[in-house]
Structure 1
Amino acid sequence: SAKRRALLDAGADHVIVSEEEDIRSRLEAIAGANGVRTVFDAVGGPAFEPLTAAMSPGGMLIEYGGLSPEPTPFPLFNVLTKSLVLRGYLVHEIIRDTVRLARAKAFILDGLSDGALKPVIARTFRFEDIVEAHRFLESNTQFGKIVVTI
């Protein structure tokens, strides 16, 4: 919740603080009767079930992380009744494929050049201060990326 205002100021249309709000009901209120078509989730854990519950029939959930230390239950009935597609993703799909990597680099560089992508830098550290950089990252107080210069 401490980052809600910063997220909204950065362009988010909605912010759901999962520790304070019911994820399913908030998603249903935001998405309406059709449900959420696509979910990108980096956390897993207990939130997996309410995410799938708020999804539209035929929706796709892309899991790209496992930040939750808790088990991730498989929402069998949501998957079956809604014909959901669950897909895992790792960045290695891109970086191990030279064609896709070149396209990704071009997209990023073009976006930075023309201003479409505007990275938010929370703080920059010298390489010699890498321990402090890690401590700052672990504090979870940053908003934006942490840069380490060499």
Structure 2
Amino acid sequence: MANVVRIHEYGGPEVLQVHEAAVGRPGPNEVRLRQTVIGLNFVEVYFRRGTFEVPRLPQVLGNEAAGVVTEVGEGVTDVRIGDRVVYADGPLGAYATERLYPADRVVPIPDAISDEQAATVFLKGLTARYLLKDIVRFSPGDTVLFQAAAGGVGTIFARWAKALGVRVIGTVSREAKVTFAREAGCDAVIDRSREDIGERVAALTDGRGVKAAFDAVGKDTFRASLAALAPRGTLVTFGKASGDPEPIAPFELAARSLALTWPILPVYTATRDELLAAARDLFDAVARGQVPARPSRSYAFDEIVEAHRDLESGRTVGAAVLRV
């Protein structure tokens, strides 16, 4: 038996309930995992609210965790019992002390990386990586805008971008996060609760605008991100924490020849080779000190309701994890 966190209906943090559940034996191409550290991500708030539908109710939530392989199913050759592994962005169900998972979607954790580091950085780090390396081609000296720069993805993106010579203008939702975002690697930080994003970006770029804007906030910042772009700039939207952005006519992009895209991680790690290559790049950046891999907050497994309240209210900065 395992402890799991399920929702039986969509709603606020209070719908998260801890239950016991049978785990079962792994089937073909599956492994059984004893989980040690579980990553917390804002996308899980979307699933809990019903912004994104879950496959069925009741549903165990969670997208990311590290742990130890305790059993392997038929046909599994890439991992063995006793291996430390991490996974992200596959079948929901990471909020559990033990679970089954597809063997071809788990990644071995290097000896130099702890379980805590892996669960802290894997999903957010893979996300930051494809945003920084796969969407727009950057050169040293380019400037980008990153909305919600004090979040888990934002802090990794800013530090990694800085290591590559890319200048990052970050935004935060409140003054208390300004220092954190600056220490995380942002070259300049805009407090959008009291500053005009467009005016500040114009001042910081001598009126040129940014080569790309990365926006997971959605409704509240979409127009500001679009306005901040330089001619031939790209708006990369990858979330909607504040709600759906308003519709936009393609013709609105024409005057500055702008590009708009909404990429998702599974497309960039669709094959096992792509997943392993992205993971190697991420873990190498962690080992080099280019990517932060320590959680800013840890919660006990049964503190999941408090953790979601903090995630949803914006009280967390950086990455947070659940300890099993």
Q: Point out the structure with the larger helix share.
A: 1
Q: CA RMSD in A?
A: 2.0
In structure 2, what is the equivalent of residue 11 of structure 1? 185
Distance 1:124 1:63 in 2: 28
- Secondary structure of the residue aligned to 1:144 is coil
265, 268, 286: which one pairs with 1:94? 268
Greater relative contact order (Cα 8 A, min sep 6): structure 1 or 2? 2
User: How much identity, in percent, do the aligned residues show?
Assistant: 33
* 1:128 and 2:302 aligned: yes
Structure 1 residue runs of 5 or longer lacking an equivalent are: none
Q: Which entry has the higher C-alpha Rg, 1 or 2?
A: 2
Q: Is the 8 A contact 1:62 1:89 kept in 2?
A: yes
Count of aligned pairs? 150
Aligned CA distance change for structure 1 residues 105 and 70 (closer, same or farther; 3 Å): closer
- Secondary structure of the residue aligned to 2:296 is strand
Aligned CA distance change for structure 1 residues 144 and 47 (closer, same or farther; 3 Å): closer
Aligned CA distance change for structure 1 residues 46 and 102 (closer, same or farther; 3 Å): same
One-letter amino acid of the structure 2 residue matched with residue 60 of structure 1: T
In structure 1, what is the equivalent of residue 254 of structure 2? 80
Structure 2 residue runs of 5 or longer lacking an equivalent are: 1-174
Normalised by the length of structure 1, the TM-score is 0.86
How far 1:100 moved relative to its partner?
Answer: 2.3
Distance 2:209 2:308 in 1: 38
In structure 2, what is the equivalent of residue 31 of structure 1? 205
How far 1:29 moved relative to its partner?
Answer: 0.9
Q: Is the 8 A contact 2:222 2:245 kept in 1?
A: no
Distance 1:121 1:72 in 2: 34
Q: Is the 8 A contact 2:213 2:228 kept in 1?
A: no
How far 1:96 moved relative to its partner?
Answer: 2.6
Normalised by the length of structure 2, the TM-score is 0.43
One-letter amino acid of the structure 2 residue matched with residue 118 of structure 1: P
How far 1:82 moved relative to its partner?
Answer: 0.3
- Secondary structure of the residue aligned to 1:60 is strand
In structure 2, what is the equivalent of residue 139 of structure 1? 313
Aligned CA distance change for structure 1 residues 27 and 120 (closer, same or farther; 3 Å): farther
In the TM superposition, structure 1's runs of 4+ consecutive aligned residues that sit over 6 Å from their partners are none
Distance 1:28 1:77 in 2: 23
Larger mean Cα displacement after TM superposition, 57-66 or 30-39: 30-39
How far 1:110 moved relative to its partner?
Answer: 1.1
Distance 1:114 1:54 in 2: 32
Distance 1:24 1:78 in 2: 17
